[in-house]
Amino acid sequence: NGYSNAPHTLGLTVRDNVGTTATATRTVTVQNNLGTISVFITQPSSGATVSGTQWVTIWIENAAAGTKTFTLSAAGQTVATTNDTSNGPISMPWITTGTPDGPTTLTASVRDASNNTGTGSIPVTVQNGSSQLTAGFSTPAQGATVSGSVTVGMTASGGTAPYTYTLTIDGTQVASGASNTYSWTTTGYSRGNHTLGLTVRDNTGATATASRTVTVQNGTPLTASFTSPTQGATVSGTVTVTMAAGGGTAPYTYTLMIDGTQVASGASTTYGWNTGAYAAGSHTLGLTVRDNTGATATAGITVTVSSGGTLSVAVTTPSPGATVSGTVWVTIWVDGAAAGNKTYTMTANGTQVWNESNGDRPASLPWVTTNGTNGTKTLTVTVRDSAGATGSGSVTVTVANP
């Protein structure tokens, strides 16, 4: 009886014979009744959050027979009254929008026909507000790439102002208070993806959350470029395309496009381009470099495939569909070529395996198949004569080395 009608915390500390201690706590609500009538509020429950029209259920004991007057008050103001002969349940409507948002005490008072009285009360939280509480970020944008010092903008709406903004980065709290901005020094974080988390708490204790993922990219920006061929170059035969990357975080992945079609992707910085498979004229090489953090950079050049003449090139050995191993001598016949030496470039599945110039007819070129992998290979020989005419021929075989 010496404590108010409200929640109270019981605390326990146990100490054993060697001095070790352990603790425990428990929260209970004291609801002693004043007067000779016992009054109990069973709905809403103690500590509940209420809004709109809340129906309050009351039970009483020890009241005299006859009509009883029930009075309901919140925050010290009468919010409903009724007369009834019953001891319960008595239901009374409480229009909570007439009570300020926030914690309050709901009290039921009863007077019976013999003028006996009693009261009972519980703590509740009123939460109406103009709309549901929401949280969000105004900056940086979702998926943004950030560096240096970045302003993190936080927003809240609905609920009941003022708001408290609690910001976390990768789960670690970095700020909490009334300010809705935070200056984030990203240089203290590793390159890559990081998660911003926001919790907004309004004046009634309601909360809302939001999150956003951004990519930190400090240090030297990632770059992509071609070292060969050069911009505007005229090319023919099999051309080695050489790609380069700088900055960012190694290792890099190089993805090469020719006229918008991907032809290679991986760690290799070179590609053997058989221009004989492309029409004479302008063609665009596009490069995308991706670093170890997922950052990307691009580059592009335009080159011209030479129109030259067209040579007739036939690979007569090995035969189509043959199975080969070890060192294979490839026999090539060329028709329509100008006098003089011709340049022969031989590739297997796009990778150069031999290159030489000679005036032989037929020409024989060695292919060391053990330098590559087993499997189906398209062997292509591209020829350029002394007048700049080009042509190519190919055969598909199977490499089967022990």
Q: Are 149 and 183 in contact (CB under 8 A)?
A: yes
Residue in the block written with tokens 């990778």: 351
Query: Which pLDDT band, with edges at 50, 70 and 90, does 217 fall under?
Result: confident
According to the model, what pLDDT value does residue 110 have? Answer: 95
Minimal CA–CA distance to 250: which of 288, 210, 293? 293
- For the chain, the structural domain boundaries read 39-126, 134-216, 223-305, 312-399
According to the model, what pLDDT value does residue 235 have? Answer: 84
According to the model, what pLDDT value does residue 1 have? Answer: 54
pLDDT tens by residue, 67-107: 999 999 998 899 999 999 999 899 999 998 888 888 899 99
- Starting at the edge strand found earlier in the chain, the sheet holding 390-399 runs 323-324, 390-399, 375-384, 342-348, 351-358
CA 119, 120, 121 angle in degrees (round to 5)?
130
pLDDT at 32 over 80: no
Whether 39-126 shares its CATH topology with 312-399 is answered: yes
pLDDT tens by residue, 298-322: 999 999 987 656 788 999 999 999 9
DSSP H or E run through 153: strand 149-157
- Write down the architecture of domain 223-305 according to CATH: Sandwich (2.60)
Q: Are 9 and 23 in contact (CB under 8 A)?
A: no
Minimal CA–CA distance to 193: which of 293, 324, 302, 275? 293
Cα gap 210→206, rounded to integer Å: 14
Region 324-344: what's the mean pLDDT? 91
According to the model, what pLDDT value does residue 386 have? Answer: 75
Higher pLDDT, 4 or 333: 333
What b/e sequence results for 351-379 when a residue is b if at least 16 CB atoms lie within 10 Å of its CB, and e otherwise? ebbeeeeeeeeebebebebeeeeeeebeb
* C-alpha neighbours within 13 Å on the C-beta side of residue 400: 6
Cα gap 224→289, rounded to integer Å: 6
Minimal CA–CA distance to 154: which of 134, 181, 185? 181
pLDDT tens by residue, 340-354: 899 999 999 999 999
Cα gap 391→335, rounded to integer Å: 10
Strand spans (E) along 247-387: 253-258, 261-266, 270-274, 281-290, 296-305, 312-317, 323-324, 327-335, 342-348, 351-358, 363-368, 375-384
Q: What does each C-alpha distance from 30 to 21, 109, 123, 251, 399 come to in angstroms?
A: 28, 17, 10, 66, 88
Region 110-133: what's the mean pLDDT? 86
Query: Which pLDDT band, with edges at 50, 70 and 90, does 40 fall under?
Result: very high
According to the model, what pLDDT value does residue 54 have? Answer: 92
Q: Please state whether the peptide bond connecting residue 320 to the residue before it is cis, i.e. omega within 30 degrees of 0.
A: no
- Write down the architecture of domain 134-216 according to CATH: Sandwich (2.60)
Return mean pLDDT, the chain: 89
Give the type of residue at 326: G
pLDDT tens by residue, 175-213: 999 999 999 999 888 888 999 999 999 888 888 999 999
Higher pLDDT, 73 or 389: 73
- Residue 238 forms beta bridges with which residues? 274
Q: What is the DSSP letter of 7?
A: E
Query: Which pLDDT band, with edges at 50, 70 and 90, does 5 fall under?
Result: low
Q: How far is CA 227 from the centre of its chain?
A: 34
According to the model, what pLDDT value does residue 31 have? Answer: 60
- Write down the architecture of domain 39-126 according to CATH: Sandwich (2.60)
According to the model, what pLDDT value does residue 368 have? Answer: 96
Give CA torsion, residues 300, 304, 310, 311, to 10 deg. -60
Question: Domain 312-399 in CATH: superfamily?
Answer: Immunoglobulins (2.60.40.10)
CA 160, 164, 170 angle in degrees (round to 5)?
135
pLDDT at 115 over 70: yes
Higher pLDDT, 161 or 368: 368
